[in-house]
Amino acid sequence: QKEVEQDPGPLSVPEGAIVSLNCTYSNSAFQYFMWYRQYSRKGPELLMYTYSSGNKEDGRFTAQVDKSSKYISLFIRDSQPSDSATYLCAMSVSGGYNKLIFGAGTRLAVHP
Amino acid sequence: GAVVSQHPSWVICKSGTSVKIECRSLDFQATTMFWYRQFPKQSLMLMATSNEGSKATYEQGVEKDKFLINHASLTLSTLTVTSAHPEDSSFYICSAAPGDRGDYGYTFGSGTRLTVV
């Protein structure tokens, strides 16, 4: 069993839709949770990070962490064609320069 | 914001030759940098953690003699793929974070696509 599970998709939605992306994990020691966006042939770009459980909102993006269920989510409101990319969840056990464990990434396509 | 520059963005080399990839932190100092490898439609796999002034820490299964990492300064880490073979063809990405950041928002380089023919 992988430490971090993420449905690779692809996920196709119409412009303006609310997108829900999810990851589950098995290691209860994870405390730091991140979402990255990666366009084709580019490096990942940090979108959101959260520590422990709770919600965090930034513009059209909302990240949720439920440590009791070992489940994290990223919601994208009013999705745009420019949101079409691969979204990767990542997590780490402790702070500092601790290595990140990535999910497989979910490919999202937002069509006009 | 923190910027990480990676060079070259793509490279084609002949089998048996060596290739060097550079990762630079442009506006901050990075005592630690990370090197990842990504196969098509797959996630990032951590290869090694590069520490300024000391030996890199390699992940299990990564050949340290094949993937040489040098972190000679606080702004530069290099990955050299030695005696490259077609199976080394992949997308290599580095990441780093400023030493004074309280969060874990590692910045990634734009990646290097290596093709070995």
Q: Could you tell me which residues come within 8 angstroms of residue B103 by beta carbon, excluding any fewer than 6 positions away?
A: A49
Could you tell me what percent of chain A has a pLDDT over 90?
75
Q: How many CB atoms lie within 10 A of CB A18?
A: 12
- Most distant CA pair in chain B: distance in Å? 43
> Alpha-carbon distance B87 to B99, whole Å?
35
Closest CA to A31 of A56, A57, A15, A49: A49
Put simply, the chain B residues between 28 and 47 with a CB less than 8 A from any chain A CB are 31-32, 34, 41-44, 46
Give which of A49, A61, A91, A99 to mutate to test B binding, by max B Cβ within 10 Å: A99
pLDDT at A96: 61
**SS3 breakdown of chain B: % helix, strand, coil, rounded to 5?**
5, 50, 45
Residue B30 has pLDDT above 50, yes or no: yes
pLDDT at B32: 86
Determine contact, residues B84/B16, Cβ cutoff 8 Å: yes
> Alpha-carbon distance B66 to B89, whole Å?
13
What's the pLDDT band for A95 if we cut at 50, 70, 90?
low
A-to-B residue pairs, Cβ atoms closer than 8 angstroms: 53
**Residue B113 pairs with which residues in a beta bridge?**
B10, B91
* A75 touches B: beta carbon within 8 Å: no
* A42 touches B: beta carbon within 8 Å: yes
Amino acid in the structure at residue B83: S
* B107 touches A: beta carbon within 8 Å: yes
pLDDT at B85: 96
**Residue B91 pairs with which residues in a beta bridge?**
B38, B113
Residue B100 has pLDDT above 80, yes or no: no
B66: its two tokens? 């094949």
Put simply, the chain B residues between 63 and 92 with a CB less than 8 A from any chain A CB are 91
Nearest residue on chain B to A6, alpha-carbon basis: B43
Give which of B44, B113, B114 to mutate to test A binding, by max A Cβ within 10 Å: B44
Q: How far is CA A71 from the centre of its chain?
A: 11
Q: Which residue has the higher pLDDT, B42 or A27?
A: A27
A88 contacts B44? CB cut-off 8 A: yes
Average pLDDT over residues B63-77: 92
B44 contacts A99? CB cut-off 8 A: no
Average pLDDT over residues A8-32: 94
CA distance B82 to chain A (A): 23
B53: its two tokens? 């002034």
CB contacts, 8 Å: A46 with chain B:
105-107
B6 contacts A46? CB cut-off 8 A: no
